[in-house]
Amino acid sequence: MEIVVDILKQLNIVPVPLLDGQAQVVRARALLEANREGVFHALAESPDGMTSAELAEKLGFAPDGAKVLLRALNSMGYLRERGGRYSNGRWVRRWILDPKRGLHYMLRLQLYTYHRLEGLGQNLKTGRPTMDFHAMDAANPTPQQETYTRAMREAARLIIPDLLKRAAVPPKVERMLDIGGAHGEYSRAFVNRFAGLKAKMIDLAGPVATAAKIMEEEGNPEGLELAVGDALRDDFGKNWDLVLLANMVHLFNTEQNVDMFKRCRAALKPGGSLLVMDQFTGLGRRRDHIFAVISLNFFNVGGKAYDVSEMNAMLREAGFDKVQSKPFSLRTPGALIQAWA
């Protein structure tokens, strides 16, 4: 169905702005509300599926509300309907409910993103971001902050296999610093991959508190060290084999990034490397199309999706002479830029 719509859009015979400006908003909202209200989990608990009346009863929807929502989700391809009974489709099973790939928190986070982007018009005019990350610097994270950190963890799980594949890491590495490491998932993956590696992650107080909570829930077999720190100001110490900046540079402006890169370079051992993982443009037309849109979201929090040429210029200004870009496979959002001290 989506392919047909795409073809009709390309042929310019459907009212594209109506699809993008109205239908997309309603579709997104239907998905986010269903996820927030537990529709997919409720359906997963009913092996024979549920009627709209049963779902309404279970989750406290108005009968007509449940009916219209289930029909919409069915037409969007998220549910299946047989004889008036609805069950989860394969996208829900794989991308929302699967413990390894599920994006439940990511969808919850988009409810906040939706709200934040109300400020986009103002942000585009003034150039000032709608959100200040330093609001996260509170030891007791709000539900929104905790959702953010757990959502980033879900995204990390999708990215880690490509990152591990593309990063050129010598067999013997001992110390890794994960700046803005939040949930700690990247550090965990590196420690599990490279025997003898120890990792420390720093972040603002809120995400560190959430990371500590995750460790309480699941343990910390990798012995990760957590610390509150400020990527925009701190001295990062010395003698790290690896410094990771995953999804960080898109939050900051050029000046902030150059300054951060200089402090990363000073913190690396000679021959150690900086791994910058993010969503970059300049690595192919398909990726550029996606990131041109995502960049608006980054601009709304103070940064943008940088072009690889801008990244190279910033890293060279910070003193890195050897820099390589390594795009991920098309199904993984992002790319790695590795720079050696």
Q: What does the binding site for ligand SAM look like in residue numbers (CB under 6 A)? A: 133, 136, 152, 155-156, 180-182, 203-204, 207, 229-232, 246-248, 251
Tell me the closest approach of the beta carbon of residue 171 to ligand SAM, in angstroms. Answer: 25
CA gap 305, 282 in Å, rounded: 10
* Residue 231 beta carbon to ligand SAM: minimum distance, rounded to whole angstroms: 3
Distance CA 288, CA 182 (A): 27
> What is the smallest separation between the CB atom of 239 and ligand SAM, expressed in angstroms?
21
**Shortest distance in whole angstroms from residue 242 CB to ligand SAM:** 14
Cβ atoms of residues 314 and 257 within 8 Å: yes
Amino acid identity, position 169: V
Q: What are the start-end ranges of the E strands in the chain?
A: 79-82, 85-88, 175-179, 198-203, 225-228, 240-246, 268-278, 322-327, 335-340
Report the alpha-carbon distance of residue 326 to residue 292 in Å, rounded.
19
Contact 311, 280 (CB under 8 A): yes
Shorter beta-carbon distance to ligand SAM: residue 246 or 305: 246
Residue nearest to ligand SAM (CB): 180
* Shortest CB 76 distance to ligand SAM, Å: 27
Q: Which amino acid is at 309?
A: S
CB-count burial class (<10 Å; 0-12, 13-18, 19+) for 222: middle
Picking from 199, 316, 196, 230, the residue whose alpha carbon sits closest to that of residue 265 is 316
How near is the Cβ of 298 to ligand SAM at its closest, in Å? 9
Best CA proximity match to 265, nearest among 164, 154, 341: 341
Choice between 88 and 149, CB closer to ligand SAM: 149
Closest CA to 43 of 55, 32, 31, 53: 55
How far is the C-alpha of 281 from the C-alpha of 283, rounded, in Å? Answer: 6
Q: Which three-class secondary structure state does DSSP give residue 261? A: helix
Report in angstroms how near the CB of residue 92 gets to ligand SAM at its nearest. Answer: 23
Residue 203 or 241 having the CB closest to ligand SAM: 203
CB of 20 to ligand SAM, least distance (A): 26
With beta carbons less than 8 A apart as the criterion, state whether 317 and 248 touch.
no
Structure tokens at 312: 């190279």
Which is closer to ligand SAM, CB of 49 or CB of 207?
A: 207
Q: Which is nearer to ligand SAM, 88 or 279 (CB)?
A: 279
Smaller CB separation from ligand SAM, 60 or 161: 161
Looking at the Cβ atoms of 19 and 294, the one nearer to ligand SAM is 294
Residue 74 or 95: the one with the smaller Cβ distance to ligand SAM is: 95
Phi-psi region of 245 (alpha: psi -120 to 50; beta: other; left: phi over 0): beta
